[in-house]
Amino acid sequence: MNKSEQNKSYALVTGGSGGIGKAVCIQLARQGYNLLIHYGSNKATAEAVAASVREMKLEAEIIKFDVANREETRKVLGDWVDQNPNKSIEILVNNAGIRKDNLLLWMRDEEWDDVLNISLGGFYNVTRLVVEGMIKKKKGRIINVVSLSGIKGLPGQTNYSAAKAAVIGATKALSQEVARRNITVNAVAPGFISTDMTEDLNENEFKAMIPMRRFGKPEEVAEVVGFLASTGSSYITGEVISVSGGL
């Protein structure tokens, strides 16, 4: 085994087949990281993202598991870690999440549970597994994709706001636990971004609320994630950066 095979740095992006997830994968590849692209159901899109990364002469693998399922996450992701001792996850981007908007008065139990289990439970299930390796290597970047909804709250999103606000709190707490190990933990809070997740929204109606008068692009979120993954952000931890056009 040559030196290059002994230590390959990977970035794991959960929800890597979505709009923001795809942009993040491409951005991190441009910064020289091999990619471990997580997906829940859209294998074709995950494969397409992986192909784009490989075109940059980097390695890319796709991995499927339900982030909300603790046993499945530990089995699938744990097996990948065990079977690839020459590969280390140096960057973790917790991006997986869903919206199931409804007023709390009419919210169904599954709308609450599914949103919390994926965003908050997924953060715990994946990070708990990955942070152990970062601590051993004394190196790592954890970047959580949260939301403007988790900062200010939005009507019809009590579940989503609660999940993202909880991850913001976890970001601040975890950052203090691992800072001595040269691991930073930060969050990026997008506002209205043009992706599949917002295609049901009337852009003309909502952009009037935004000082910049437009929805953001996934690449604009990815640029911030890329900065937080870089050496340029080495003294920044426990922070939440909004990408919301001033909203």
Q: Any idea which residues carry the catalytic annotation? A: 160
Contact predicate 46/70, CB 8 Å: no
Q: Which residues pair with 240 in a beta bridge?
A: 187
Residue the block writes with tokens 């952000």: 233
Strand order in the sheet with 87-94: 60-64, 34-39, 8-13, 87-94, 140-145, 183-190, 240-243
54 φψ region: left (φ > 0), alpha (ψ -120 to 50), beta (else): alpha
Please count the other Cβ atoms lying within 10 Å of the Cβ belonging to residue 236.
13
114 φψ region: left (φ > 0), alpha (ψ -120 to 50), beta (else): alpha
Interatomic CA distance for residues 221 and 201, integer angstroms: 19
Of 33, 1, 63, 65, which is closest to residue 230 (Cα–Cα)?
A: 33
Of 101, 209, 199, which is closest to residue 158 (Cα–Cα)?
A: 101
